[in-house]
Amino acid sequence: MNRRIARAAGLTLVAAGTWYAALQAQEARSVWDGVYTETQAQRGAALFDRECANCHGPSGAGGSMAPALVGPAFSANYDGQTVGDLYERNRSSMPVGREGQLSAQQNVDITAFMLQVSKFPVGTSELPPQTMLLKQIKYVVDDPRTPNQGDRPAGTHQDNTPGTEWIKRLERPERIPGLKTDAVIALLHLKPGDVIADIGAGTGAYTIPFAKAVAPAGQALAVDIWPELLGYIQEKATTAGLDNVRTILAARDDPRLQPARVDVAFFHDVFHNMNDREGYVRRLAGYLKPEGRIAIIEQEFDDPIARKWDRPEDRITKEQVRAWMAHVGFQLVAEFDIFQGTHNPQGAGMPERWFVVYGRAAHSSQ
């Protein structure tokens, strides 16, 4: 049943049953159903550039004057609402200083562009410039057609935030001291010859110092799911004159390493992003040397910053990690508190974190 035909024909001419079916179909629609077109999003992009980007940053990545219009914090605000609500927000209160001055068509085109930036799929009909119709399109972060596929939805760390955006977020200068790379290297007893896999390496803030610590014979493997980030790390390594950094494009559920190769698998603020955490440990175990270790630094479950960015199911506790590890035959070999409490530099914008190291029960001396 083609809704456009129904509308053109006029509802009075359409049998009540058919009309009801059309309404049902409409009610069931969500942002996952391809509700805008590429052309519409392009028109929206040009408008966004002109009207919104000066405050919200290019493609709504966020600026110093206004919040990001993409990513977990943003999409959480609209999850469960409708495209109409987002459209109304734009129409009634934006652009700040010139509120309500854009036409309905301009606003809906911008809204289409915002859906595209959040990686909701493109379709074959445009979003209509009518609030009532837009309110029938659900804004849902989870793709309702693929429940329990193990893929994390848009709005989590494995969402479709482009790698270039991650570079900006992860390279904030105030973030770097909070990583305490020297202390981490010392506590992990990294030494020349070791192979360390920095999983979810991001911009390589740890990879590069790791590479220096294990040089010349050792290797730092930069593992990530974003090619842009790996390219960035490779550039950094070249600039630093390091030839022992290897970049590895991982799958979401598999770091794709070589069997029994790694001395330390390292995760900083990354492990909670895995879909099937225990399954990940199981797979990882195959890449570790017999005496290999898994080091995990994770945000405190109830830290306010963690709560802001990640939903409860996207955060993890030390106890959960202990259970997953135990099922795969790993036990705690060390725990450090360098990312706790007053040790944390103020204003780094990072949550409090715990730091645990696991090893195979059979090889653990402690």
Q: Measuring CA to CA, how many Å separate 13 from each of 3, 4, 21?
A: 13, 14, 15
CB of 305 to ligand HEC, least distance (A): 17
Q: Which residues bind ligand HEC (CB under 6 A)?
A: 51-52, 54-56, 65-67, 69, 74, 77, 89-90, 93-97, 110
> Smaller CB distance to ligand HEC: residue 111 or 273?
111
Q: What is the C-alpha R_g of the chain?
A: 24
Considering the complex, state which of residue 3 and residue 89 has its C-beta at the smaller distance from ligand HEC: 89
Give whichever of 66 and 240 is closer to ligand HEC, judged by the CB atom. Answer: 66
Instruction: Compare residues 42 and 77 and give the one whose CB is closer to ligand HEC.
Output: 77
Nearer to ligand HEC (CB atom), residue 51 or residue 194? 51
Nearer to ligand HEC, 111 or 207 (CB): 111
Q: Distance between CA 83 and CA 137 in Å, rounded?
A: 6
Residue 39 CB, nearest distance to ligand HEC (Å)?
A: 18
Alpha-helical runs (H) found in the chain: 3-9, 16-27, 38-51, 53-56, 72-78, 83-93, 104-117, 131-134, 163-170, 181-187, 207-214, 227-239, 277-285, 304-309, 318-327
Contact 222, 246 (CB under 8 A): yes
CB of 111 to ligand HEC, least distance (A): 8
Tokens of 254: 């598999």
Kindly state the smallest distance separating residue 63's Cβ from ligand HEC, in Å: 8
Supply the minimum distance, in Å, between the C-beta of residue 84 and ligand HEC. 13
CB of 85 to ligand HEC, least distance (A): 10
Segment 24-28 long-range contacts (CB within 8 Å, at least 24 positions apart) = 25/1, 26/136, 27/136
